[in-house]
């Protein structure tokens, strides 16, 4: 089991490893495996990348994120300019049907609404606008239209776990209640937990994933 100081050092090293991040801009503290990120970055996409980087580190149990967006004067835009840029980004993104997405911008915060069939389309819509200059945050309120029944969802997600290289499918149980997927069991790392949740989100019609997976680090053999 890693100590908090070991996790902190690993997180800082991982942030240094990321090519699009300046690790000096991001503060890291760890308490009982919970990593808190602080500091300032100049884009919302960097904020997301910092969170993704932390998820890769063994021993991380949760992330508390307090990174602020600092927009340089040269990158400042009016809400109207951000809205137009966001509409163009959605229009040219092949995975997103911009006709099904509505957006609103206020104080640099983009609010996305609409309906799609798959979670990846919902995520792609957010990613399409997250990197735009002047964006401070993205509220992704796009909903997913259900297409399959609960029994089919359980079978599809279970089969996807079996195919996944980083997931021990035998230690995870899947249940479906309406459009919500519930995951129970044990995993070896925060990354495996996130991978399992991502697989569940990838199923058609899923609108919620309740991730109850317990992180149990494997014992090291010397």
Mean pLDDT of 80-89: 92
64 and 77 inside one domain: no
Residue 20 confidence class, pLDDT cut points 50, 70, 90: confident
pLDDT at 222 over 80: no
Helix, strand, coil abundance in the chain, percent, nearest 5: 40, 30, 30
Which domain covers residue 53, as residue numbers?
4-69
Asked if the structure places residue 221 within a domain, the reply is no
Model confidence pLDDT, tens digit, residues 121-130: 888 899 889 8
Task: Provide the 8-state DSSP code for 24.
Answer: G
Residue 82 CB contacts under 8 Å (≥ 6 apart), including other chains: 105, 108, 110, 132, 134, 135
168 within a domain of the structure (yes/no):
yes
**Per-residue pLDDT tens digits for 136-191:** 889 999 988 765 677 888 888 999 999 998 899 999 999 998 878 999 999 988 88
What confidence tens digit (pLDDT) does each residue in 5-15 have? 999 999 999 99
What is the pLDDT at residue 220?
54
Domain count, the chain: 3
Strands (E), 17-171: 26-31, 34-41, 62-69, 101-106, 109-116, 137-140, 143-144
Same domain, 199 and 154: yes
**Using an 8 Å Cβ cutoff, are 101 and 125 in contact?**
yes
Do 88 and 113 lie in a common domain? yes
Neighbouring CB atoms inside 10 A of 76's CB total: 12
Task: Assign 131 to helix, strand or coil.
Answer: coil
What CATH number is given to the structural domain containing 174?
Answer: 3.30.1340.30
- Tell me the pLDDT band of 98, cut-offs 50, 70 and 90: confident
89 and 122 both lie in a single domain: yes
Give tens-digit pLDDT for 50-59. Answer: 998 998 898 8
45: in domain: yes
């Amino acid at each position: 089991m890693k100590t908090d100081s070991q996790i902190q050092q690993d997180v800082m090293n991982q942030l240094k490893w990321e090519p699009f991040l300046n690790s000096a801009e991001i503060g890291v503290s760890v308490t009982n495996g919970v990593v808190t990120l602080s500091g300032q970055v100049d884009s919302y996409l960097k904020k997301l990348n910092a969170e993704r980087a932390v998820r890769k580190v063994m021993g991380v149990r949760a992330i508390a994120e307090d990174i602020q967006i600092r927009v340089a004067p040269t990158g400042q835009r009016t809400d109207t300019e951000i809205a137009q840029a966001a509409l163009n980004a959605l229009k040219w993104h092949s995975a997103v049907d911009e006709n099904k997405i509505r957006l609103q911008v206020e104080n640099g915060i983009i609010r996305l609404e609409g309906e799609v069939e798959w979670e990846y389309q919902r995520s792609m819509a957010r990613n399409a606008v997250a990197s735009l200059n002047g964006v401070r945050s993205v509220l992704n309120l796009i909903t997913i239209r259900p297409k399959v029944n609960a029994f089919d969802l359980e079978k599809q997600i279970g089969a996807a776990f079996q195919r996944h290289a980083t997931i021990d499918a035998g230690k995870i149980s899947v249940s479906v209640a309406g459009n919500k997927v519930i995951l129970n069991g044990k995993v070896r790392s925060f990354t495996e937990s996130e991978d399992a949740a991502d697989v569940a989100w990838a199923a058609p019609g899923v609108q919620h994933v309740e991730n109850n997976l317990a992180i149990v680090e494997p014992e090291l053999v010397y």
